[in-house]
Each structure stands twice: as structure tokens, then as C-alpha cells.
Amino acid sequence: MIPKKVDRLLLQPIDSSFFDMPTLELARSLLGKLLVKETRAGITAGWIVETEGYIGPADRAAHSYGNRRTARTDVMFGPPGYVYTYVMHTHCLINVVSGPVNHPEVVLIRALEPFCGIELMYARRGTDKRKEELTNGPGKLTKALGIEKADYGRPLFARPLFVAEGKEIESVSVGRRIGIENSGEARDYPWRFWVSGNRFVSKTRRQGE
């Protein structure tokens, strides 16, 4: 039963130690957790239903491939549990930094199931379509939650942008990652995870389900 009003105190940031696990394990563990963003406009949150692991330096699809350290990838080389945002075309994508210091690995959050602040999500997305359209893609969910490139480097275990406990997942599906066709052998790595049968998983290519 979803409460009509979500008490801010109901949503507590997870402990920073949560992020201290291998990247693919974290990608699975994030499924069912809540991603929360608090702004002056209000609170928006959704259950994470789709993730992908990017494991530099050996992963050709990762921005940190070959240990490439630039202004953009810098946060990946720090401790886990911090935000890696970057702009793809006109859209902002959010990743969770994982792995120990100097291991530039991340988990990309690709889709959410809206939990609260749904009216605000509709307003930010500028659409009146079905609820699935709000957050069923990495660029869509950031817009719905008001996540921006400026969130780069923020901890995900403290307000205003954080992970919180959610609900148990019955079954996880595994498959190839999306949109990395030019990444050689890495394009076939089964490093995409999603909640089996969930309606909010991004539509592009559902193989393996």
C-alpha cells in the first residue's frame, strides 16, 4: 500500500557500506532499491528496475576503458557510492561509482518504477502519456527526478540525492547491455540486469528475457 503523502522521514539514505561490493553484485543489489531526489519543488523517488555494470579498465564499453582518467571519469577512481553523471546528446545519465579506490567501475541506472512525486515527474517530463514513459530509460528518469550534471560527485548515501531501502525482488533477468554496438567484444558481456517482467524496464531490445 502506497501512502498518499510520503513522509520525508520515511525515506532514509542507505549506509555508505552498502556500496562496498563487486560491481556486478551491486548492479543486482540496486534492483528494488529506491532512488530519491529532494529538491525545492518536492520529493521524487522510484524503485530501480534496470541497471548495467561498466567495469573499467578492461571493458571497452566503459568510459574508463584503459584506465583513462579525465575530468569526466575522475570520480570513478574514488571510493564507491558517489554519483557519476554525464551528458549524452541532450540527456543526463546517472551512474553509481563502485569498486575500490583506483578501480574505475560504475553501475548505470537505466530505469525506475515511479514511487512518489509522480505529478512532479509528469511536469518535468512535459508529457501526459502513460506512467511507464516517465522513467523507462536512463535519460528519462534523470529528467523525471530532476537529476543534472551538477549532481556529479555527490554521495548517494546522503541527501538530497540518495539510495534508500525499497522492496524485495522475486526474479532478476540478465542480458547484453544497450547501445554499445561499437565496443567490440564487450558488447556481448551479460552485464545488464532488470526486474523480470517489470513494465518500467526500457523498451529497447529485451532479449534474454
Partner DNA sequence: TTGATGATGGCCT
Partner DNA sequence: GGCCATCATCAAG
- Residues forming contacts to DNA in the complex (CB under 7 A) are 52, 54, 61-64, 68, 70-73, 84, 86-91, 93, 95, 106, 108, 125, 127, 133, 137-141, 149, 177-180, 182-183, 202, 204
Residue closer to DNA by CB (options 11, 186) is: 186
| Apex 50 CA angle, 129 and 44, nearest 5 | 55
Rg of the chain, C-alpha, whole Å: 16
The CB-of-108 to DNA minimum distance in angstroms stands at 3
| Strand duo 34-39 + 157-158: pairing | unpaired
Residue closer to DNA by CB (options 11, 189) is: 189
Contact 174, 24 (CB under 8 A): no
Residue closer to DNA by CB (options 106, 116) is: 106
Residue closer to DNA by CB (options 26, 93) is: 93
The CB-of-15 to DNA minimum distance in angstroms stands at 24
List Cα–Cα distances, 102 to 24, 52, 75, in angstroms. Answer: 17, 20, 10
Helix, strand, or coil (residue 192): strand
Residue closer to DNA by CB (options 11, 65) is: 65
Contact 118, 136 (CB under 8 A): no
Q: Which amino acid type is present at position 85? A: T
Residue closer to DNA by CB (options 41, 88) is: 88
Helix, strand, or coil (residue 52): strand
Helix, strand, or coil (residue 195): strand
The CB-of-99 to DNA minimum distance in angstroms stands at 12
The CB-of-129 to DNA minimum distance in angstroms stands at 8
The CB-of-1 to DNA minimum distance in angstroms stands at 30
Task: Point out which residues pair with 45 in neighbouring strands.
Answer: 36, 116
Q: Retrieve residue 13's grid coordinates.
A: 539514505
The CB-of-11 to DNA minimum distance in angstroms stands at 24
